[in-house]
């Protein structure tokens, strides 16, 4: 019987709660998270157990690593790993006091939301600008020069893809923001 399993699963930057639920389902099925790299998750066979997974996105946690991890350990959370800016924690439900989570109030949830926006959305916007400016330069050059249209077509495909991605993530981010503000 296999003792390790690798799974591919894509979650957008604002789907951390959906990712947490998926990891909890995997643990209940007898597979605990032991590693991750981008969208690839590594699991190890374990006893099925009710475990809560929580993700935190914190630049401060990377800057003051020892203090950050000790804070979670003091509250009974096991640090599992770090992946694409998120720290992954888990805790058996049997050790929890009610609906305990690493974000206990609206303000802490909004703080994480803002950290994600600063850490991810701004980078995605910068990528969009870096693709958009050369495309605009080619468009302007194309108006003056024959044959520049092929260069513009080449640039427009990745620019359009990033634009669509950015719009999709922005819409999802606004929806998540509204959900958090409502306290749902």
DSSP conformation letters of 101-140: -S--SHHHHHHHHHHHIIIIIHHHHHHHHHHHHHHHHHHH
Nearest-angstrom CA–CA distance, 28 and 20 = 12
pLDDT, position 110: 76
For the chain, what percentages of helix, strand and coil (3-state, to nearest 5) are there?
Answer: 55, 20, 20
pLDDT, position 179: 79
Q: Which residue has the higher pLDDT, 101 or 37?
A: 37
Q: Which residue has the higher pLDDT, 160 or 1?
A: 160
Nearest-angstrom CA–CA distance, 93 and 98 = 9
Domain map (residue ranges) of the chain: 4-95, 106-182
Token look-up 């969009």 returns 128
pLDDT band at 162; cut points 50, 70, 90: confident
Token look-up 């997974």 returns 53
pTM above 0.85, yes or no: no
pLDDT band at 46; cut points 50, 70, 90: very high
Cα-based torsion angle of the residue sequence 101, 16, 37, 50 in order, rounded to the nearest 10 degrees: 50
pLDDT, position 92: 96
What's the pLDDT tens digit per position in 107-124?
Answer: 777 777 777 777 767 777
């Amino acid at each position: 019987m296999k003792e390790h399993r690798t799974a591919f699963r894509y979650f957008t930057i604002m789907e951390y709660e959906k990712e947490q639920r998926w990891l909890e389902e995997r643990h209940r099925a007898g597979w605990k998270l032991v590693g991750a790299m981008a969208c690839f998750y590594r699991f190890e066979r374990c006893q099925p157990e009710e475990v809560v997974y929580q993700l935190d996105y914190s630049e401060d946690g990377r800057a003051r690593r020892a203090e950050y991890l000790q804070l979670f350990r003091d509250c009974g959370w096991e640090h599992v790993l770090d992946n694409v800016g998120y720290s992954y924690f888990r805790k058996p439900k049997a050790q929890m006091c009610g609906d305990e989570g690493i974000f206990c109030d609206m303000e802490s949830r909004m703080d994480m939301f803002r950290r994600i926006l600063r850490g991810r959305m701004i980078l995605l916007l910068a990528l969009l600008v870096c693709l958009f400016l050369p495309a605009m330069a080619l468009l302007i050059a194309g108006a003056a020069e024959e044959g520049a249209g092929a260069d513009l077509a080449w640039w427009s495909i990745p620019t359009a893809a990033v634009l669509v991605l950015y719009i999709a993530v922005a819409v999802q981010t606004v929806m998540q923001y509204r959900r958090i503000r409502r306290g749902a």
